[in-house]
Amino acid sequence: MDITATSVDKESPLNQLIRFFNGYFALDEKECKEVVRLFSQRNIRRRGYVLQEGDTCRHYFFIVSGCFKMFAVDPSGKEHNLQFASENEWISDLHSFYSQEPSRMYIEAIEPSIILQIQHDDLLYLFIHYHKFDRNFRIITEHKYINFQNRILQNISSTAEERYISFTKQYPELLNRIPNTQIASYLGITPEFLSKIRKNIVIEH
């Protein structure tokens, strides 16, 4: 379907989201109109939060531009990065989103960002009335699950250097956008050890 058949401007964030969905199971005109109706746009400043610990995650976020991190804070106050997400990716605390219980996570913008968000009840409405959305989000969730599963396996069986190399392959577009301290937190190492790993890789190559 020609997505310009909707009222969405060709270069708009909503058109970007529709193109994303069309990469899986393409939407028809009625489904495109539902995207326009149910997704809302937000501009998030750098270091702005879309979720904080103790709040209920009421939205699923599609990133139009910018970059986010999802992290938890342990009792000592140390941050532990669980996920990064940038353009054309999704981020949410799925446990809190689907259970509607308070979250243990924070989701923070690393850069000034534009997102499209959909509320919990509106997404369930799409799942029930338009099965194509159910299929599309099942693929999205499966990809997230595979990424987390691979990360757990790396944490128990890979060296810090191997984890860093895997990170560079998974997030090549973010290497110059994310501070070293954030990458080190994601890998579970200190920034100093990350610098040592990078130097070793340069020497080896």
In a domain, 54, yes or no: yes
CA 129 to chain centre: 25
Residues 164 and 197: their CA atoms lie apart, in Å, by: 8
Low-confidence ranges of the chain (pLDDT < 70): 1-10, 204-205
So what's the pLDDT on residue 114? Answer: 98
In a domain, 201, yes or no: no
CA angle (89 as vertex; 38, 94 as ends), nearest 5 = 70
* Domains: count for the chain: 1
CATH number of 55's domain: 2.60.120.10
Residues 121 and 113: their CA atoms lie apart, in Å, by: 24
So what's the pLDDT on residue 197? Answer: 93
So what's the pLDDT on residue 3? Answer: 46
Residues 83 and 72: their CA atoms lie apart, in Å, by: 10
**Which residue in the block uniquely carries the two structure tokens 């690393």?**
110
Residues spanned by the domain of 107: 3-133
- What are the CA-CA distances from residue 203 to residues 183, 199, 200 (Å)? 21, 6, 5
pTM of the model: 0.89
Q: Which amino acid is it at 148?
A: F
Q: How many residues does the chain have?
A: 205
In a domain, 55, yes or no: yes
